């Protein structure tokens, strides 16, 4: 079908065909982020590593820095789109509030998704890793599937940072880069709030808890 399209150039046809094959492989072999995986193996990113770690080499590298160092059109489009359509943030806040107020532990849950998360937690603990589901803001309709799962997970394996009443800044244009990302200041606030939540989670486990219990 792709190669029968007269309006597409030869290069575009092969590019699109390659993407379609990759999507088929991702679906059949139950893997995600196939393009990123391939790029990881075939590209030499070692030279770019310091850049991705940020100016202080601490892993804090925001889209503000990305667009300043590499002013690509796609970043400007995303940045401007949310400012041309500010009701996006209002709608994201409305959806977050709606789902948080109407979904609870009695709501129907997707058993396949729940079993998947429970298996991930168990497998991680078996390897000495404490897995945490972070429910972050601006997920829009994805809350419908994630919230019921969230309520069924153990308290020590989840953090919620979504409610507009508790985190109004995460729905503010002042801290927004694009529809799904915060700017540098917003990312800093989010990181600080996440650290506080994480410390509270660890403290709740108690001083005598084992590393896995923590």
Q: 65-85 pLDDT, tens per residue? A: 877 877 788 889 999 999 999
pLDDT at 134: 94
Q: Return the HEC string of 13-70.
A: HHHHHHHHHHHHHHHHCCCCCHHHHHHHHHCCCHHHHHHHCCCCCCCCCCHHHHHHHC
Radius of gyration over every alpha carbon of the chain, rounded to an integer in angstroms? 21
Between 207 and 153, residue with greater pLDDT: 153
In whole angstroms, what is the distance from residue 186 CA to residue 111 CA? 35
Q: Is the confidence at residue 28, as pLDDT, over 70?
A: no
The pLDDT of residue 18 is 53
Give residue 45's pLDDT. 53
Q: What would the pLDDT profile of 83-126 be if each residue is shown by its tens digit?
A: 999 999 999 999 999 999 999 999 999 999 999 999 999 999 99
* Domain locations in the chain as residue ranges: 1-43, 86-204
**pTM score above 0.75:** no
Better pLDDT: 4 or 72 = 72
- Higher model confidence: residue 42 or residue 92? 92
Give mean pLDDT, residues 43-69: 66
Asked whether residue 156 carries a pLDDT value surpassing 80, the answer given is yes
Place 7 in a pLDDT band, splitting at 50, 70 and 90: very low
Instruction: Kindly state the average pLDDT of the residues 48-55.
Output: 60
The predicted structure's pLDDT at residue 65: 81
Confidence at residue 107, expressed as pLDDT on a 0 to 100 scale: 94
pLDDT averaged over every residue in the chain: 79
Give the other-Cβ count within 10 Å of 126's Cβ. 9
Q: Could you tell me the pLDDT band of residue 209, with boundaries at 50, 70 and 90?
A: very low
The CA angle 90-96-100, to the nearest 5 degrees, is 150
């Amino acid at each position: 079908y792709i190669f029968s399209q007269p309006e597409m150039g030869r290069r575009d046809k092969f590019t699109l065909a390659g993407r379609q094959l990759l999507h088929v492989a991702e679906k059949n072999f139950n893997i995600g982020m196939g393009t990123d995986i391939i790029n990881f193996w075939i590209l030499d990113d070692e030279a770019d590593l310091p850049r991705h770690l940020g100016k202080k080499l601490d892993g804090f590298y925001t889209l503000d820095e990305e667009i300043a160092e590499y002013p690509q059109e796609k970043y400007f489009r995303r940045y401007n789109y949310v400012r041309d359509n500010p009701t996006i943030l209002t709608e994201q806040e409305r959806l977050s509030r709606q789902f948080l107020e109407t979904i609870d532990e009695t709501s129907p849950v997707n058993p396949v998704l729940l079993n998947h998360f429970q298996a991930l937690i168990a497998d991680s603990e078996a390897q000495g890793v404490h897995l945490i589901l972070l429910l972050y803001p601006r997920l829009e309709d994805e809350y419908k599937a994630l919230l019921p799962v969230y309520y069924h997970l153990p308290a020590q394996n989840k953090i919620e940072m979504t409610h507009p009443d508790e985190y109004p800044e995460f729905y503010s244009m002042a801290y927004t880069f694009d529809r799904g990302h915060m700017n540098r200041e917003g990312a800093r606030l989010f990181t600080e709030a996440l650290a506080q939540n994480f410390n509270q989670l660890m403290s709740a486990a108690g001083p005598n808890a084992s590393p896995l219990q923590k």
